[in-house]
Amino acid sequence: MNPAIGYRFLRLVDRIRRGSELPLGPDQLALPPPAFMELVCGRVDNLVEQFKWAGAVVARMLDDEAMMMRDSAFLDVGCGCGRVARYLLQKPIASYTGFDRHPGMIRWCRDNISRHARNFEFQYHSVKSAYRALDGHDGAQAAGEFIFPYRDESFDAVLLASIFTHMPLEECAHYLKELYRVLRFGGKVLLSVFLTDGEAHSNGVDFHYNASAFLKNTAETGFDFKFREELKGHHWYILFKPGRKQEGDARIPGRSDL
């Protein structure tokens, strides 16, 4: 059976069993523990409002970029405690796969999100990160050596919200190659980075890349790209994996940003 058809069938069965209810909206789900929300949002006074606002903003970006298309396969790299996932339950995608290095957050997502949507899967992978300084999780495998456990061309759309912002450029370069590998031709990536026109710098947790160096890495991986917007210091980009080239095909604009 085609996987997309299978997922739609399971969702239909779930709705029938629950009395034809629609998938839950974000405000119908429980909120993660404050400690989890603080890890993904930082220490702010209006923590719940900030958590909801950030998830809704990213979901809107995904809609704007047509990355929530019917029957598509979606990957959320560094999904955390479902800050964005909770806003995607009512989207027509065939499947959602999220992975993170924080075991507690993954358990929470499985218990509070997956049980409402069988096509939402959350996976734990023990990856090392500079974020250890904040969450205390060592991780077993270096991010620069981590191979995404998915077949080539498995996903139509991928999200990385505040992942490269906490990753050295050399690890980012490796992830870009993995993103290109698992993304289908014609697919898109939405991601955020900290960029500077000057020298790259870091405080050990937040990493600001030299803009030219980051865009050069992106282009050399094979992606075309466009700058979307700057929001609270985060530079949001859309990466495109061009379709298989035919002679005379036009290029997607983007590398002129270099």
pLDDT band at 24 (very low <50, low <70, confident <90, very high): confident
Q: Which residue has the tokens 């507690």?
A: 104
Q: Where are the beta strands (DSSP E) in 66-223?
A: 73-77, 95-100, 120-124, 155-160, 183-196, 201-202, 207-210
pLDDT at residue 25 greater than cutoff 60: yes
Amino acid letter, residue 228:
R
Strands 207-210 and 155-160: unpaired
For residues 142 and 255, the model is more confident at 142
For the chain, give the number of residues: 258
pLDDT of residue 8: 57
pLDDT band at 3 (very low <50, low <70, confident <90, very high): low
Strands 95-100 and 155-160: unpaired
Strands 234-240 and 224-231: antiparallel
Output b/e per residue, 187-197; b: 16+ Cβ within 10 A.
Answer: bbbbbbbbbee
Phi, psi of 99, rounded to the nearest 5 degrees: -135, 155
Q: What's the Cα-to-Cα distance from 247 to each of 82, 92, 121, 185, 221, rounded to whole Å? A: 42, 34, 39, 16, 21
**How confident is the prediction for the chain on average, in pLDDT?**
89
CATH of domain 3-243+250-257: 3.40.50.150
Angle between helices 34-41 and 47-64 (to 10 degrees): 60
- pLDDT tens digits, one per residue of 87-132: 999 999 999 999 999 999 999 999 999 999 999 999 999 999 999 9
Q: What is the pTM of this model?
A: 0.87
**Residue 67, SS3 per DSSP:** coil
- pLDDT tens digits, one per residue of 172-231: 999 999 999 999 999 999 999 999 999 999 999 999 999 999 999 999 999 999 999 999
d(CA 80, CA 88): 14
**What is the 8-class DSSP label of residue 29?**
S
- pLDDT tens digits, one per residue of 57-81: 999 999 999 999 999 999 999 999 9
